Amino acid sequence: MRIGTLGCVLLLWVAAGCVNELQPGGQHVSHDHQELTVSGGAVIEEWAVEGDWYVSPRLMAADGASRAGVLVSLLGEADAPLMEARVVTLDGVGEWVPLEAAWSEIDQHVAIAELGETGVAAELRILRTDVSMLDVLRFTAVVPEPELTLDDAAPLEGEVDAASAEIRSELRGLGIVTREQWGARATRCTSGDSSKRRLAVHHTVTGSSDPARQMRGIQNFHMNTRGWCDVGYHFLVGSDGKIYEGRPLHLLGAHVGSNNTGNIGISFIGCYHTSGCSGLGPSRPGDSMIRVAGRLMGTLSRLYGISLSSSTVKGHRDHPGQSTTCPGDNLRPRIGEMINIGRSSTLSGGSSPSTPPPPSTGGSCTHSYGGTYGNLACSAGYQCCSGSWRTRGACGACACVETTGERGCTAAAPSGPPAGASCTHSYGGRYANTACSPSYQCCNGSWRTRGSCGSCYCTESTGERGCGL
């Protein structure tokens, strides 16, 4: 694919991965960190040509710039393109400095350059022969932040261990992807923030096709270029419908400028705005992402005593003092849906392993969160076995499946697909008859309100690849 044929350039200034509001003159201003994202490979049409190089627009740095950094995604497996950066001061411009690789993996690379002095802006240039491999580039120019030190809010070591163990236990029923599993670097953070009272929703403005690899890229970009002690968010939701553990929950996050204290950062891996997402995968979050994020909110609300509402769960741009479109016009309207899911469910669907549900007499089980479940009823990790909760599968196949943790359970899916035509979803993918999304159901070839043609045979998972049982 020749990048020069792709039309307009997308120049975005973002804060902690979120796209910011367009300002006069085509620039996007960030309250957190100045950043330029070029999506779709339109460098050839919009950047200046100087000899063998394409030179970026000047990236203004309100907080100063002494380090330049990039996160690049390529169209295929290859080495990082040759790039150089230079500082801009009130007296002129500095010398071009090569960017050195700080992290590389297949088609993603993080590279940095120390600019030699602190300026008011920076410029980036890319060798023209290397541009054809470029998919998406994020360029930032900052004064790296000093490492955080232990403050008065930091919990005692025993409290940290207990908090970490509790949240991991609560999330185990869903199968959270832990830091160890996705290959995280060790955190350098020390500033504690154990009293959580609110949640913030973001999107990362990155690709979404390989969430684990994107997690590693985001963490290295945050740590190597900005000097942060870890990835900024506490949890990230992948397009695979899984939750990825980010910065340890008992630590202070870095995701909403001047609004991080007591704030749990939940970011969706991908780009979910109505513009500026070219080359970054689907621009709408899948239903499985919404469901699992809602259930995460439910678990966090119970752990920290947070009453879920529009005042305690906000998009990045809805916090005071933010100039951003984050979490995007295609994600922000679904925050209310996540709140409703969170109010009626938790991640495990059953009790946490550390607090087993109380047994009941007879053939049914009483759940610790409310509701009575028939024998062989199942949650994500447990099963009702003649009056007591046991590990799922301990007493045979599930006769019914717990749906909310409060209102009993529904009959398990039939063993084979029902008769009837399938439906094509507007986001792509074909779904079997009676397949369900959160609001709609396939009824003999057409989408109707959920429940209009009976119980769900299978549930839409991503909006792209069909659905699973």
Whole-angstrom distance, CA of residue 207 vs CA of residue 189: 26
Return the structure tokens found at 148: 């955080």
Return the structure tokens found at 464: 């792209």
- pLDDT in the model for residue 432: 80
Residue range 3-142, CATH number? 2.60.120
- pLDDT in the model for residue 346: 54
Parallel, antiparallel, or unpaired: how do β-strands 108-127 and 83-89 relate? antiparallel
- pLDDT in the model for residue 127: 93
Please tell me whether the peptide bond between 327 and the residue prior to it is cis, using omega within 30 degrees of 0: yes
Q: Which amino acid is at 361?
A: T
CB of 266 closer than 8 Å to CB of 277? no
Q: Which residues contact 44 (CB under 8 A, 6 or more apart)?
A: 3, 4, 54, 131
Question: Which residues of the chain are modeled with pLDDT < 70?
Answer: 1-33, 39-42, 147-175, 345-362, 368-370, 380-381, 391-393, 403-408, 410-419, 426-428, 461-465, 468-469
Burial of 236 (0-12, 13-18, 19+ CB in 10 A): buried
- pLDDT in the model for residue 457: 79
Whole-angstrom distance, CA of residue 417 vs CA of residue 434: 9
Q: Which residues contact 98 (CB under 8 A, 6 or more apart)?
A: 82, 83, 84, 113
CB half-sphere exposure, 352, CA atoms < 13 A: 14
Question: Has domain 157-344 been given CATH number 3.40.50.261?
Answer: no
Q: What is the pLDDT of residues 13-72, one digit of tens each?
A: 333 345 333 222 222 333 345 788 775 466 777 889 999 999 999 999 888 999 999 999
Burial of 392 (0-12, 13-18, 19+ CB in 10 A): middle
- pLDDT in the model for residue 89: 95
Query: Can you give the residue ranges of every domain in the chain?
Result: 3-142, 157-344, 365-407, 413-469
- pLDDT in the model for residue 366: 75
Q: What is the pLDDT of residues 153-206, one digit of tens each?
A: 333 333 344 445 556 666 666 668 999 999 999 999 989 888 899 999 999 988
Whole-angstrom distance, CA of residue 385 vs CA of residue 362: 10
- pLDDT in the model for residue 40: 45
Task: Convert 90-125 to b/e letters by CB count within 10 Å (16 or more is b).
Answer: eeeebebbebeebbeeebbbbbbbebeeebbbbbbb
One-character DSSP codes across 342-405: HHH--SSSS--TTSPPPP-STT-EE-TTS-EE-TTEE-SSEEEETTEEEETTTTSS-SEEE-SS
Whole-angstrom distance, CA of residue 214 vs CA of residue 103: 12
Whole-angstrom distance, CA of residue 388 vs CA of residue 382: 10
- How many residues make up the chain in this entry? 469
Q: Which residue has the tokens 């469901």?
A: 291
- pLDDT in the model for residue 94: 96
pTM (two decimals): 0.65
